[in-house]
């Protein structure tokens, strides 16, 4: 993994040289795309288009409704439209592994010349021919911003909006620990260039909640369990709840952050029962526990304070297992099993 700034600088110019050399580009990002995924993808699309390149975007999952205010979101195509198309260069954004762009897409979308990986996840794999992995960056959008900056091409309005949206999303609206003076400086510059109203961007992204999601939330919050020491909080969502509230598993997104907000809680987890009866878990930490390590024990990954994994176990067992493992991280002496039971 590249952590040093020097390597970053070198990779910025390596990438720009590559951009100069080729003409046909394809971009992709991870499944269940979030604000940083879509924001970084669209901003790189706008930059490369501006350089006169032919650029296509292919995602496994559709652009979520709350990002459909972003310019050119409609240019993002599905895996079905690939056909026999082969780009010279494929740039994968914000995906810690190549498989994260989707199984089919990762196999069918193969570049003839070069695979580029741009990411900021601490657990990112260097799967590209060129890897621009910057774990110190708040977001992949911030890396794209710096890439454009180092090319000395002016950022246009549309691009500024996409970059800002990614930056805003991955910093939790500038409140997570990855928020720095520099993030604010970049955000300020993007607002100035873009001429958009930050409150409108916020409303577009966060205040389009379907009422069905609120119904699900009320079901999920009723499952709240907290360990005796008050440090680990968990909730779960079941297939029955999804059916009852006419929602799907993505409606659970964000719930874990609310659990994390409980006073004294160090690790929060939200487990979702998937259709195949496996369990998808989102993890959050106050900072004391590196939940990307915890997730890695279950073949997951992410960041120190936000991570996830998928466990092939029924949800209650998955929660019990994770809570027990999390206790070991909070207190390495902990070997007990009594206080992780469903009460």
Question: Does 142 engage in binding with Mn ion (CB under 5 A)?
Answer: no
| Region binding Mn ion by CB under 5 A among candidate stretches 31-39, 173-181, 213-221, 298-306 | 31-39
Question: Does 273 engage in binding with Mn ion (CB under 5 A)?
Answer: no
Q: Which of 36, 41, 61, 266 binds Mn ion (CB under 5 A)?
A: 36
Do residues 212 and 247 make contact, with C-beta atoms less than 8 angstroms apart?
yes
Rounded to whole angstroms, how far apart are CA atoms 245 and 215? 6
Q: Which of 94, 142, 219, 273 binds Mn ion (CB under 5 A)?
A: 94
* Rounded least distance, CB 139 to Mn ion, Å: 5
Rounded to whole angstroms, how far apart are CA atoms 205 and 160? 16
| Region binding Mn ion by CB under 5 A among candidate stretches 3-11, 57-65, 90-98, 269-277 | 90-98
Burial class of residue 156 (count of CB atoms within 10 Å of its CB; 0-12, 13-18, 19+): middle
Query: Closest CB to Mn ion among 135 and 314?
Result: 135
| Region binding Mn ion by CB under 5 A among candidate stretches 136-144, 151-159, 204-212, 268-276 | 136-144
Closest CB to Mn ion: residue number: 36
Query: Closest CB to Mn ion among 119 and 273?
Result: 119
Neighbours of 49 (CB within 10 A): 15
Query: Closest CB to Mn ion among 120 and 280?
Result: 120
Phi, psi of 212 (to 5 degrees): -60, -35
Question: Does 170 engage in binding with Mn ion (CB under 5 A)?
Answer: yes
| Region binding Mn ion by CB under 5 A among candidate stretches 5-13, 153-161, 163-171, 172-180 | 163-171
Please name the residue that has the structure tokens 């999920």. Answer: 220
Query: Closest CB to Mn ion among 95 and 326?
Result: 95
Q: How far is CA 286 from CA 121, 250, 254, 261, 316, in A?
A: 18, 23, 15, 9, 23
Rounded to whole angstroms, how far apart are CA atoms 15 and 27? 14
Query: Closest CB to Mn ion among 96 and 324?
Result: 96
Do residues 207 and 254 make contact, with C-beta atoms less than 8 angstroms apart?
no
* Rounded least distance, CB 178 to Mn ion, Å: 10
Number of residues that bind Mn ion (CB under 5 A): 5
Query: Closest CB to Mn ion among 171 and 245?
Result: 171
In Å, the largest CA–CA distance within the chain is 63
Rounded to whole angstroms, how far apart are CA atoms 203 and 206? 5
Rounded to whole angstroms, how far apart are CA atoms 8 and 149? 13
* Rounded least distance, CB 20 to Mn ion, Å: 26
| Region binding Mn ion by CB under 5 A among candidate stretches 12-20, 30-38, 204-212, 218-226 | 30-38
* Rounded least distance, CB 166 to Mn ion, Å: 7
Per-residue DSSP letters for 290-329? Answer: -HHHHHHTTT-EE-SSEEEEEESS-HHHHHHHHHHHHHHH
Binding site for Mn ion (CB under 5 A): 36, 94, 139-140, 170
């Amino acid at each position: 993994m590249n952590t040093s700034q020097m390597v970053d600088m070198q990779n910025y110019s390596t990438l720009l040289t590559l951009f100069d050399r080729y003409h046909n580009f394809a971009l992709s990002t991870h499944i269940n795309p979030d604000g940083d995924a879509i924001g970084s993808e669209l901003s790189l699309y706008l930059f490369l288009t501006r350089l006169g390149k032919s650029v296509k975007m292919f995602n496994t999952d559709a652009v979520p409704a709350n990002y459909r205010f972003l310019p050119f979101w409609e240019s993002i195509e599905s895996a079905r439209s690939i056909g026999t198309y082969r780009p010279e260069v494929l740039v994968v954004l914000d995906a810690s592994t190549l498989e994260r762009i989707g199984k089919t897409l990762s196999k069918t979308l193969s570049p003839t010349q070069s695979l580029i990986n741009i990411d900021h996840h601490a657990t990112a794999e260097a799967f590209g021919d060129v890897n621009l992995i910057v774990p110190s960056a708040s977001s992949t959008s911030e890396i794209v911003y710096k890439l454009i900056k180092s090319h000395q091409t002016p950022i246009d309005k549309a691009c500024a909006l996409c970059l800002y949206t990614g930056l805003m999303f991955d910093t939790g609206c500038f409140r997570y620990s990855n928020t720095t003076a520099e993030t604010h400086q970049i955000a300020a510059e993007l607002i100035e260039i873009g001429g958009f109203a930050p409150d409108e961007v916020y409303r577009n992204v966060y205040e389009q909640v379907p009422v069905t999601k609120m119904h699900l939330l009320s079901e999920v919050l009723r499952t709240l369990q907290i360990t005796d020491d008050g440090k680990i909080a968990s909730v779960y969502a079941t297939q029955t709840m999804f059916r009852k509230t006419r929602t799907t598993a993505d409606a659970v997104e964000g719930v874990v952050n609310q659990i994390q907000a409980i006073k004294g809680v160090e690790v929060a987890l939200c487990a979702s029962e998937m259709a195949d009866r496996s369990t998808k878990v989102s993890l959050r930490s106050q900072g004391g526990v590196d939940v990307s390590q915890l997730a890695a024990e279950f073949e997951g990954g992410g960041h120190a304070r936000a991570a996830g994994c998928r466990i092939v176990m029924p949800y209650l067992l998955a929660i019990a297992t994770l809570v027990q493992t999390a206790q070991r991280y909070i207190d390495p002496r902990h070997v007990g099993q009594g206080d992780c039971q469903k009460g």
